[in-house]
Structure 1
Amino acid sequence: MGSEAEETRNNPTHIHTLISSPCFPVTLQFLDITYRIKLDPPTAGSALNRVLQAQPTPPAPRQERTILDRVTGHVSPGELLAVLGPSGSGKSTLLTILAGRSSARHSGSVLANGARFTKPVLRRTGFVTQDDVLYPHLTVRETLLFCAMLRLPGAVTRAEKAAAAEAVIGELGLGKCADTAVGGAYSRGVSGGERKRVAVGIEMLVNPSLLVLDEPTSGLDSTAAGRLVATLGGLARKGRSVVMSVHQPSSRVYQMFDSVMLLSEGSCLYFGRAGDAMDYFRDVGFVPRFHVNPADFMLDLANGVVQIEHDAEADKTTVKQSLVSSYNRVLAPRVKDCVKDSVSAAAKAASIGSMRLSSTGSREERNYSSVSWFSQLTILLHRGLKERRHETFNSLRVVQVVATALLAGSMWWHSSIRDVGDRFGLLFFTSIFWGVFASFNAVFTFPQERAILAKERASGMYTLSSYFMARTAGDLPMELALPAVFMTVLYWMSGLRQDVCSFLLTLAVLLGYVLVAQGLGLVLGAAIMDAKKASTVATITMLAFLLTAGFYVHNVPRWLTWMKYTSFTFYCYRLMIATQYRGGEVYSYLAASRAGHAASEAEILAQVGVGTSVLALFVMLLGYRILAYLCLRRIKA
């Protein structure tokens, strides 16, 4: 992969062609987009009032909040549309709907070339979220390269995919930081502006027909923002439809917009050419007292705080109502007529374009097929190993495991096989440590990756099954390395049965146990999708498993006996004893023990056979992972 990237860096002409080639034109139209949410009624003091009042108060009806109210507009190929508005005006919600990434119910229509969104159109739609959802330990080049491998059609060669990644790096000015880790909240990496450009670059890889960006200039200085918007404008000029939201652009950036939509509390105050905005507001009675950046003036209008000609102290609500009324009366009819015309024109153009594609056998259409399942698995596995090696083998975790092994080995230094009580305590301590360690680490897996999983699946990068299999397979070498080191150190220090066969059997039991405990953590994390809540449930579950494993309590109440057989710690503890004591030798050692109650500890040997214990752990190993996969399927992409 690295050699291919090196080769493509030496072929700039071919690289530029890959992301600059004409794309299939998509005209985006949206008609009367309305989205409302129901608010929960206030509950403070309601329970106390119901107790004190003679007659109970009926529950208050749920109120509705309008996030978007009949928003209409369109953007054509070659056009850059900017959605302006203050925080909370509905910009992000609108863009999520326009990109086809919203699972919430809304009214109105979103059309591409006069028809509803289809999977092929969604594949040609790039969506850059407001929050940068990236793997922190991958470099910029690795991030773009893996995305190119997954997102570009299967018919494109690996060298061409590497070339596309290099082209994006050059196009967005990421060459200086290409080999720097992206970074995140807990690890250092590239700057915020560079991270935003990486997020934009991921969407540019597919040569999108429609590109939707939610505040791509946030966190950038004026120069960097101007450079990024100029790049987006250049992408639009090549036949793409580009929609972006922006909070407060500079006057230089504003001049780069072709069309502008101004939102305020979900209502549209203006939609039209960027250069015509000030004339429109002047016609409806809103004129600035001095020369001002058009974007600043429009944001003041959206907030209702601008001074106007006829009433310098106008009420904010009055200003907004006047603007909404003026838009609905003056502009809205024209906008809807224009959108309807664009729908018919786009449908006609799409029909002609479709005929041309079918007759010429355009490579863009013919080869736009997904990467094979096995290729997805291979690429995701490679990416996962590169990303998680830093997390699994970080110095703190390695020191924690090795220090625990040394401490336990010192406590049980060359213990005698005849000291059954001490030996049982060592084996159960090992079960406790790795049961808790593995399950708690796994609990955080899917909650932490939920955002990036949902984003990449929505982009059609891979299937859930390939992701899950790559995640499971990639965990094997990394999750099993540390327990192997732990057991190697502890086993020979503590003086457990001194033969290689017993050591290998004990190690095999521990590794299988770790995988089962990890499976429990994966299930809880996938089912709850909240790391704090899932870790709390994991604590209670592991506590129940440890108490019923047969070390602390031997005479478990009958009505709780069933819990013992659901505890993988019970089966692991049973198997570890079997690896150290063969046949009936444990009974002879217990009989010679001065601790009279110690004989009861051997009862665990007669409760479940070795074969049954192995089978139970194997069933749990598969069962937990199947449950985790089914829980992940509930998450909408």
Structure 2
Amino acid sequence: MSLSRYGVDDAKVPQQPFLASEAPRGPTFLDTTACLCSLRALPGQDKLAEANAVFDNGQAAWQCIGNQTQGVYNVTSGKWYRAKNAKGSLKLPMEDDSNPPIGKDLVWNSKSRSLEPLKNKDTLTVYDRDCTGTNRSSFSTSFYRATYQQLNDQLPYDAAPCWRPGALPLQLQNVSSWQDEGCKEGFLCQNNTINSLPQSCPPLRECTVARLSGMTCSFNGSNIAMGVFEPVVCQQGYYCPVEDKGQKKILCPAGSYCQPGSSSPTPCNVGSSCPEGSKYQRYYIPLIVLVLVDVLLLVGMFILMFRSRWHRTSKAHAGTLKRHKTMRAVKATITGGGYKKLRDDADHEMAPMQPSYSPQSPYGHAFREGRSRTGFEASLNRNSVYSSEAEQRELEANPQLRAFVESMRRAAEATNFGLSFRYSDLVFHPKKSPRPVLQNVTGSIEQGQLVAVMGGSGAGKSTFVNVLMGKTSNTGGIVAVNNTPGKMKQYKKLTGYVPQDDVVLPELTVYENIVHSARVRLPHNWTSKEIEDHVEAVIDCLELSHVRDSRVGSVGKPVISGGQRKRVSIGMELAAAPMAIFLDEPTSGLDATAASSIMRTLKAIARLGISIIVIIHQPRTEIFDLFDNLILLGNGQTIYEGPQIESQTYFESMGFQFPEHSNHGDVITDIITGNGREYNNVGDVSKEALISHWAKMRQHKQEEAYERRSIRSTMLGDTGMRQALKKRGAPYYKQAWLCLCRAMLQQYRARAAFFAEMGLAVLAGALLGLANNPKEGIMFVGLFHEPYDALSTSIDFFSAPQFALLIAIAIGLVAGAPGVKLFSEETLLYRREAEAGHSRLAYFLAKVVSVLPRMALGCLHFTVPLFLLSVPIVDWGLAFLVNVLYFYCIYGLASIISMVVRREDAPLFATMISLITGILSGSAPPLASVRDWHMEWLWRASPATWLAELYFGQLVAPFSYLYSVDIAAEATGYHLDRKWLNIGVLVAIGTLYRVIAFVGMVLGHRLRR
């Protein structure tokens, strides 16, 4: 029986075990290895069979052959088996099973003409060796149907190897391949044997659609083949053991999961949900940890909030009432308990100047009595820095001021702790400027003076002050401190600077802002008690006790008044026990009352011996009259330098007239800016003329000033200053710890931003997880290993890189904006502290370390919902580690942006740069294409590429037994076995970003220009 009569060439069709080569003459079946077994007469008994087909005494037996084309009735090869009954008939239907084979394997010995036990299988052909003689009903049924169809001249559909009509199979394995390898790992070969080798059939239309969609052909939830002898990949939720040669499909046991093509179940982690038949594991331990962490965070924050409120309330009612005895102090204490915001009109320390004020009687009768003054203003009772012993004793009777003065003396290790400055022919000429900004400036500032530096725009006021502070090095001339010439930078720990804007941390309280400055800048041999006492003295003298534990707030969302913010800014410098304080426009942005109050405080501080130098523009009359000396500049040169009370006389000597009841400060400002014509109708009023006139008067003024004040022996000398400088400032490690504590406190206070970041991380992780949930953890489909590559579905090399791409983009969006705020919001504060002698490295390291817990928590909130919903086959701990490292990189990248971009634009830039960094992951365009463009170095510079490569390796490498993963690696450009290199490079890139950010922090003000 042949297929040739149906138009099919038998030679082109692989094995056809269901197609009978000749019509069966009696009972016949196919055994488990597709061998054809027939009950026939023994060789030599053929006449018996032809006569009546009745046999007796073992004249018939079962013969099984693998190669049907030989004809089972024509050969004596193969395996033989005794029939169960020694006598019977051969004239029975082919499906008759009344006399099945029994016993051991036998062979026909042609010499002895008898059956003998099989001793050596190698004597048989490869097709016959595996014959079992055991009926396989499914094979036999197909064989019977096909045979009946042939006998009835019908097309033998049941013998067709492929389901598609008219399709011919393609043999996948030959005999030697099957013998050597058997069924490939990960496949189910239920119908394949040495006599029914694996075949590939053209798929049906529905199967074609499924395969092109990247899915396996299935029916009723089970994978199906396109032919009876076509292998199928082991179904998801089941595994096909290698030891069973792909003949069995076993349901995945509970506690394990089975991906498509599993040859063994994968044990689930402890804490995972893996019921019987699981296709993936859903890991719940991270979710439990996340919930516990969030609960602990909330509980901890509530405890700290109540503890802080209780501490603040108890301190306000116990400490403040004890310190302040006046009715106004009691009122401040009562209102301070529930303090939120104090209006300027209720701010008692902003009380207006007394009407009795006059230059001749500077502070009024009540002030001279000293009974109505508290804090620093008690020192206004002194006529000068060097008061009489009686005034000194009266001053020190004030407990607030006495504590401050004692701390200052202890810090300076001298009785008088101010600094005097002498400068001669100062010049500052920037390299790229055509003319000097400062030139021929000569004069002096004595200890304990309140000196105003005035001039128009571009007059050189800021440059002059920067030179005195050591922030800018003069290119010519000499500057001496306490009559000792030298570089001004070395004295930066002994001076303070209050910028025009109140550079304070809004999240911290008044006390916390001031005490941090004290702990970092005071002598390192001071105890914590001494530091705290000094800070309390500063707060008391600045009359900030009633708002001591109130947050400072920002300019946009103030908590305390503008005048109080300015006092806090001054207090941060006084906390460092400075010998001189420089202030830039201290009255800017304040109302008249608050401005007067601040200037009175500065005047009072100067009376204690601290030199106060302020840059100011058009002061009010009562403020102008407070100044001891004026330094008036124009075109970078001196117009006048000397006592304030002599300034009017000096300009009148030049022909200027001061209108009656005019503000002398405004008149002088007009004169020195070249706008003084209305005050002098005759002479030359230009700035050049004013400068020239002063140059002629300069020598006389210098000698007079020198005679007026001699340096006392008790003043801090050169040796004393050097000793004081050596002791100033906390060690680097302590500064780092203090900055770390402050940074952590800032984050605690900014809880809303923290919770928003965590919420965004959860949302991003959940949405990304939902997007990948339909894949059920299958992020890669490759080309099956040969020879089963013909059975491959549509390949999917890019789901894994795209998964990593989305992770990189999501983390960039979550961490970019918060990361940039780490430094961008504190640029001015950093510069202020660095110029005061703070360690830049200590500050930077503290800020970097302070956000590590925040990054870890953000990563936890992102990774948990992502993996809970997308269930990829990546170890959760490894995924968390690599995600944390990418957070680390994004925070570092954002830090760089914060150093070079304006604060207002930094969050947007950080988000965009993070997005670009994520896109450069090598997903699209593929890294392989980028390599052809010779641009791989650019992609490799992005941490997203290393993140994607690690994810690709973890998602693809586990399927190396099933797919040709090397082809996928070559197509995408990723490496599969560089896990630790990827992790190491992510650490290196994140660290390099921080090194660059640190350099940018040091040079940030230049980069932003």
Using the size of structure 2 for normalisation, the TM-score is 0.53
Distance 2:459 2:511 in 1: 36
Residue 930 of structure 2 corresponds to residue 561 of structure 1: no
Q: Against the structure 1 CA distance between its residues 204 and 542, is the aligned structure 2 distance closer, same or farther, given a 3 Å change threshold? A: same
Give yes or no for contact 1:261–1:271 (8 Å, CA) kept in 2: yes
1:483 aligns with 2:850: no
2:550 to 171, 174, 180: 180
Quote the RMSD (CA, aligned, Å): 3.8
Q: Residues 184 and 349 from structure 1, CA distance in 2 versus in 1: closer, same or farther, beyond 3 angstroms?
A: same
Partner residue, 2:405 = 20
**One-letter amino acid matched to 1:570:** T
Cα offset, 1:294, TM superposition: 1.8
Q: CA deviation at 1:381?
A: 0.1
Alignment of 1:228-627 (within 5 A): 228-306=598-676, 311=681, 318-329=685-696, 331-338=697-704, 345-346=710-711, 349=713, 353=717, 365=724, 368-389=727-748, 394=753, 396-413=756-773, 415-418=775-778, 420=780, 421=796, 422=799, 425-435=802-812, 437-439=814-816, 441-443=818-820, 445-461=822-838, 463-497=839-873, 502-523=875-896, 525-526=898-899, 528=900, 539=912, 543=916, 546-550=919-923, 552-556=925-929, 557-558=931-932, 559-580=934-955, 583-584=958-959, 588=962, 599=968, 606-627=975-996
Residue 820 of structure 2 contacts residue 895 of structure 2 at CA under 8 Å; is this kept in 1? Answer: yes
Aligned to 1:195: 565
Cα gap change, 1:615 to 1:455, in 2 (>3 Å): same
Equivalent-residue separation in structure 2 for 1:228 and 1:309 (angstroms): 31
Alignment partners' CA distance in 2, 1:89 and 1:118 = 22
What do the CA deviations read for 1:597-636 (whole angstroms, capped 9, x no partner)? 9956885564552232223223334333344445545569
Asked if the contact 2:779/2:955 (under 8 Å) is kept, the reply is: no
In 1, Cα distance between the equivalents of 2:517 and 2:725? 21
Tell me, yes or no, if the aligned pair for 2:448 and 2:607 is still in contact at 8 Å. yes
How far the C-alpha of 1:223 sits from its partner, in A, is 2.1
Q: Give the AA of the match of 1:224.
A: A
Unaligned runs of 5+ in 2: 1-306, 325-397, 410-415, 781-795
With over 3 angstroms needed to count, the CA separation of the structure-2 counterparts of 1:85 and 1:540, relative to structure 1, is: closer
Match for residue 113 of structure 1?
482
What per-residue deviation string (whole Å, max 9, x for no partner) do you get for residues 549-590 of structure 1?
A: 2454153233123444433222212323445566326x7379
Summarize the Cα distance change of 1:416–1:37 in structure 2 as closer, same or farther, 3 Å threshold.
Answer: same
Higher relative contact order (CA 8 A, sep 6+): 1
CA distance in 2, matches of 1:481, 1:229: 47
Gaps of 5+ in 1: 40-61, 592-596
Q: Secondary structure at the match of 1:216?
A: coil
Query: What amino acid is the match of 1:202?
Result: M
Question: Aligned with 1:588: secondary structure?
Answer: coil
Alignment of 1:215-226 (within 5 A): 215-226=585-596
| 1:58 aligned partner | none
Change (3 A) 1:438 1:459: same
One-letter amino acid of the counterpart of residue 522, structure 1: S
Measured in 2, the distance between the counterparts of 1:535 and 1:271 equals 48
On the 8 A contact 1:92/1:245 being kept in 2, the answer is yes
SS at 2:862's partner residue?
Answer: helix
The amino acid of 2:472's aligned partner reads S
Partners of 2:688 and 2:974 lie apart in 1 by 80
Q: Work out the CA distance in 2 between the residues paired with 1:174 and 1:601.
A: 69
Post-superposition CA distance 1:95-138 (Å, at most 9, x none): 222222225x4422221011224666321111112232222322
| Correspondence 1:33 to 2:426 | yes
Q: Hey, what's the Cα distance between the residues in 1 that align with 2:425 and 2:917?
A: 55
The 10-residue stretch of structure 1 (409-418 or 451-460) with the greater mean CA deviation from structure 2: 409-418
Q: Does structure 2 conserve the Cα–Cα contact (< 8 Å) formed by 1:547 and 1:553?
A: no
Identity of aligned residues (%): 24
- SS in structure 2 at match of 1:412: helix
Please say which structure displays the higher CA radius of gyration: 2
Q: Is the 8 A contact 2:581 2:612 kept in 1?
A: yes
Change (3 A) 1:489 1:86: same
* Secondary structure in structure 2 of the residue aligned to 1:242: strand
Question: Aligned partners of 1:554 and 1:304: how far apart in 2?
Answer: 67
How many residues are treated as equivalent by the alignment? 591
Describe the shift of the 1:176–1:350 C-alpha distance in structure 2 as closer, same or farther (beyond 3 A): closer
State the match for 1:162 in structure 2.
532
Q: Given residue 476 of structure 1, which amino acid in structure 2 is its aligned partner?
A: L
Shift of 1:476: 0.1
Instruction: Find the counterpart in structure 2 of residue 57 from structure 1.
Output: none
How many angstroms apart in 2 are the aligned matches of 1:481 and 1:544? 22
Write the deviation string for residues 413-458 of structure 1: whole angstroms up to 9, x where unpaired.
Answer: 3531335355653343112221454356545544543332222122
Higher normalized helix content (fraction of residues): 1
* Kept after mapping to 2: 8 A contact 1:29/1:339: no
1:2-23 deviations in Å (ceiling 9; x for gaps): 8899598667987644422344
Contact 2:470–2:488, Cα closer than 8 Å, also in 1: no
Query: Residue type of the partner of 1:464?
Result: R
How much does 1:311 deviate?
A: 1.8
Aligned to 2:30: none
Structure 1 residues 544, 601: closer, same or farther in 2, change over 3 A? farther
Mapped contact 1:549–1:567 kept (Cα < 8 A):
no
Q: Deviations over 1:522-568 (max 9, x none)?
A: 34555x46565997699568636634524541532331234444332
For residue 237 of structure 1, report the CA deviation from its aligned partner. 1.5
Deviations 1:142-184, CA, capped at 9 Å, x for gaps: 1112111111112222222222222222222323433333233
SS in 2 for 1:555: helix
Give the drift of 1:220. 2.0
Deviation of 1:383 (Å): 0.7
Separation (CA, whole Å) in 1 of partners of 2:926 and 2:894? 25
**What secondary structure does 1:29 align onto?**
strand
Alpha-carbon distance between aligned partners in 1 of 2:495 and 2:462, rounded to the nearest angstrom: 16
**Conserved in 1, the CA contact under 8 Å of 2:631 and 2:641?**
yes
- Alignment check: 8 A CA contact 1:262 1:302 kept: yes
Choose 301-310 or 170-179, whichever is displaced more. 301-310
Q: Deviations over 1:280-311 (max 9, x none)?
A: 22222111243322212212212333455762
Aligned CA distance change for structure 1 residues 351 and 213 (closer, same or farther; 3 Å): closer
TM-score by length of 1: 0.81
Aligned partner of 1:52 in structure 2 is none
Equivalent pair of 2:809/2:918 in contact (CA under 8 Å): no
Deviation of 1:211 after TM superposition, in Å, equals: 1.7
SS at match of 2:478: strand
